[in-house]
A and B are shown apart, each in its own frame.
Chain A
Amino acid sequence: MLNNITLGRFFPGNSFIHKLDPRVKILLMIVLLFTVFLSANYLSLFVNFFAIMLFVSLTKINLKTYLKSMKFILFIVLFTGMLNIFYAKGTAIFKLGVFVITDEGFNNSIFVSMRLIMLILVSSLLTFTTSPTSLTYAIERLIRPLAKFKIKTHELAMMMTIALRFIPTLLEETDKIIDAQKSRGANLETGNILNRIKSFVPVLVPLFVSSFRRAYDLALAMECRCYKGGEGRTCMKILRIGSNDIWAILIVFGLLVFVLIINSLFPAVRL
């Protein structure tokens, strides 16, 4: 059941987007998120959505995978969408008893849902196409200036690498423990929320215990392989900004400028 989570996973590939420098990808993702939130009318929202779907298709990863990553957040999208529809004051366009749908509310809910969806798509775009190691390596590079403020950038990056590496392992283990507890008669699926949370204790305790054992083993294995922190460490992969990266930067910034132009040419939607 837990194996279906695709959010934050990496799918190896050879596409244009896969090959981009991870530092460039991270920065461009931030720019893209800005563009999404800057789009003030339906046209710019559509242009944004179209561009993102184009990037998604460029990754050559099945669209279903993206949809799967959205499954868990769909509830939030629907929920905020529904709330926004009813909780806005303005000109009413639809009335049914106490429920009043206003023009502003309608626009608002579409904008919020679309922005959330695009948010997930953009972040999936990054994590699906970038291996966790190069992602953390890029983050390590990007936050390196912070070392001046005595922040241990290498240690942070190493922690992230290991955390990402152990997500699938721990998920698998959780599944196993759940099955083991069920086979002993544990009831994990019925009852109210409070009972269900309580019934998860027998799953979490063994998970914690085994995680400590894993951590001990991993530390041992890392020491055996001469790990001594970030000092004097080299990296196999050298990041270089190539022509592909420059094209990507031009495209994304072009999109940002385009969205800003549309925003200034057409009136913003009342929210």
Chain B
Amino acid sequence: MKNFIDIVDLKFSYNNEGNNAKNILNGINLNIKKGEFLAILGANGSGKSTLIKHLNAMLLPTKGNVFVNGINTKDEGKLYDIRSTVGLVLQNPDNQIVASIVEDEVAFGPENLGVAPKSIRERVDMALKLVDMYEYRKSTTYSLSGGQKQRIAIAGIIAMQPECILLDEPTSMLDPEGRKEVLDTIKSLNKNYGITIVLITHYMEEAANADRIAIINEGKIVRIDAPRIIFSEVAFLDKYQLSIPTVVELIHKLKLNGLPLNNMALDERECVNILKKYFNSLE
């Protein structure tokens, strides 16, 4: 697979003048493949949000380069190409909605891009159907639930026909119901439509859905690996102040207490299967 986003030796500090200013990002190298689902984990202040703002040229590297589809994000002439290729969804659903009506909100992106009115309508309908909010197209945005607002925000990005969506803790302000809605939407966009997803999250259960997990600490990537491998190393997760998914913790504690389980579970079904196997072996 060709690399879609290339981050080469990226360093960033908010203070350009002082040479001794502390770097928020301290030499990041990362490749993101097309169609991939990448989760980024890290403690507060580790530089996760700063990193993904580099992927759509909201921030430019102090040192190093970021390439999207081979285009350097420092190339000012291509700024809007990059931003329409890589969309960003923020944490607070209330703060990123521009319009009062759902369909106007979704149309905002393509309108900015100067798309012809007729094809804006097609894109809006398509995007709303993808996030399963089509029947709400005439409603007011303030009457929606948090999960619905966040799905509208995602639809607003999809309407720009991006290849990649960045999500900066999109579920942290939602209730469990809304969290599930948004995660299902993200998963379906990745699986069924091949859209590259970069998800920052604090919920390990969400990260478990990713193809790869990148762990950031103090502006550096300390580890990139598949969830199955990372979650099997409980001591490692503890070291970087990351919580452990409930099912992983359960299996881990059972093992510690002497149960001879050798597999590792990522979700409830796997966990049940492992336990079933164990009970069957007892008989």
Contact = CB atoms under 8 A, between A and B. Distances in A.
A binds B: yes
Interface string B82-123: 011001101010111111110110011111111111001100
B156 A236 contact: no
Given A10-B140, A161-B98, A225 B121 contact: no
Contacts of B115: 234
Chain B CB count within 10 A is highest, among A131, A217, A236, A237, for: A236
**Chain A, interface size: which category?**
20 to 34
Nearest to B106: A236
Nearest to A223: B58
Contacts of B156: 225
Most buried by B among A164, A214, A225: A225
A89 interface: no
Given A217-B92, A236-B121, A165 B100 contact: yes
A224 B87 contact: yes
A12 B107 CA distance: 18
B258 to A, nearest CB: 49
Given A12-B138, A225-B109, A227-B112, A214 B94 contact: yes
Contacts of B141: 165
Nearest to A162: B98
Interface string A218-258: 10111111111000111111100000000000000000000
Contacts of A218: 95-96, 98
A132 interface: yes
B90 A217 contact: yes
Contacts of A233: 111-112, 114
B95 A236 contact: no
B58 A236 contact: no
A145 interface: no
A133 interface: yes
A174 B156 CA distance: 28
Contact of A236 (B56, B90, B117, B138): B117
A10 B100 contact: yes
Nearest to B114: A232
Contacts, number: 109
A235 B116 CA distance: 8
A145 B97 CA distance: 29
Size category of the binding interface on chain B? 35 or more
Given A234-B115, A235-B111, A225 B83 contact: yes
A221 B108 CA distance: 11
A168 interface: yes
Contacts of A238: 117
A169 interface: yes
A59 B98 CA distance: 27
Contacts of A131: 100-101, 104, 140
Contact of A225 (B87, B94, B103, B140): B87
B99 to A, nearest CB: 5
Contacts of A162: 98
B114 A234 contact: yes
A221 B124 contact: no
Nearest to B139: A12
Given A165-B100, A168-B142, A236-B111, A221 B117 contact: no
B80 A226 contact: yes
Interface string A137-169: 000000000000000000000000110110011
A237 B107 CA distance: 9
Interface string B134-174: 00001111100000000001001100100000000000000
A171 to B, nearest CB: 9
Contacts of A169: 94, 142
Contacts of A228: 80, 112
A235 B117 contact: yes
A132 B90 contact: no
A226 B83 contact: yes
A165 B98 contact: yes
Given A220-B90, A226-B80, A234 B111 contact: yes
5 contacts: A12-B139, A131-B101, A165-B97, A222-B108, A234-B115
Given A12-B140, A168-B142, 18 more contacts: A132-B99, A132-B100, A164-B100, A165-B141, A218-B98, A220-B96, A221-B96, A221-B97, A221-B98, A222-B108, A224-B83, A224-B87, A224-B157, A226-B83, A226-B84, A226-B113, A233-B112, A237-B104
